[in-house]
Amino acid sequence: MATKKLDKGKPVAKIAEVKKPAAKRKPVRDKGAPAKYPRHAVEKALRIPKAILEQNAGRACTVKEAAAFLGVGEAGPFQTEVSSGIKYGFLDRPIAGQVQVTDRAKQILRPQDPEDRLLGIRDAVLSSPIISDVYGHYRGEYMPESQFFHNALTDTFGVPADKVDEFQDVFLESLRSAELIAETDGKFRLLDVASSHDKQPGNTATFKKLDKAVKVESGDSCFVMMPFASPLGDYYSKVYKPAIEKAGLRPVRADAEIFATGKIMDQIWSGIHAAKVLVAELTSRNPNVFYELDLAHALEKPVVLICGNEMDVPFDLKHIRVIYYDTSDPFWGNKLMDKVAENILSAIANPQEAVLRRNAQ
Cβ contact 131:170 at 8 Å: yes
Confidence of residue 135 (pLDDT cuts 50, 70, 90): very high
167-176, 227-236, 262-271: which has the minimum mean pLDDT? 262-271
The answer, yes or no, to whether residue 267 has pLDDT greater than 90, is no
Residue 150 is which amino acid? H
DSSP-derived letter for residue 142 is B
pLDDT value, residue 131: 97
SS3 assignment, position 275: coil
CA distance 115 to 87: 22
User: So what's the pLDDT on residue 20?
Assistant: 47
pLDDT score at 182: 92
* Phi and psi at residue 162, to the nearest 5°: -80, -5
Give yes or no for residue 88 having a pLDDT over 90: yes
Structure confidence at residue 33 (pLDDT): 64
At residue 307, the pLDDT reads 96
Return the bridge partners of 98, or none: 62
When pLDDT is cut at 50, 70 and 90, the band that residue 242 belongs to is very high
Q: What is the pLDDT of residue 357?
A: 65
Instruction: Look at residue 257 in the predicted model and tell me its pLDDT.
Output: 53
Amino acid 345: pLDDT = 95
Rounded distance, CA 326 to CA 42, Å? 28
Our separate counts of H helices and E strands in the chain read: 14, 12
Residue 24 has pLDDT above 60, yes or no: no
Q: pLDDT at residue 302 above 90? A: yes
At 276-299, the pLDDT tens digits run: 999 999 999 999 999 999 999 999
pTM, full prediction: 0.78
- Mean per-residue pLDDT for 247-256? 87
| Number of CB atoms found within 10 A of residue 65's CB | 16
Pick the closest to residue 306 from 141, 144, 187 (CA basis).
141
Rg of the chain taking only CA atoms, in angstroms: 29
Least confident of 6-20, 288-302, 341-355: 6-20
Q: Compute the distance between CA of residue 199 and CA of residue 10 in angstroms, rounded to an integer.
A: 101
Structure confidence by residue, pLDDT tens digits, 27-85: 334 455 678 999 999 999 999 999 999 999 989 999 999 999 999 999 899 999 999 99
- Please report, for residues 51, 70, 94, 101, 231, the alpha-carbon distance to residue 47 in angstroms, rounded to integers and kept in the order given: 6, 9, 19, 11, 51
Residue 210 and residue 345 in contact, taking contact as beta carbons nearer than 8 Å: yes
pLDDT of residue 32: 54
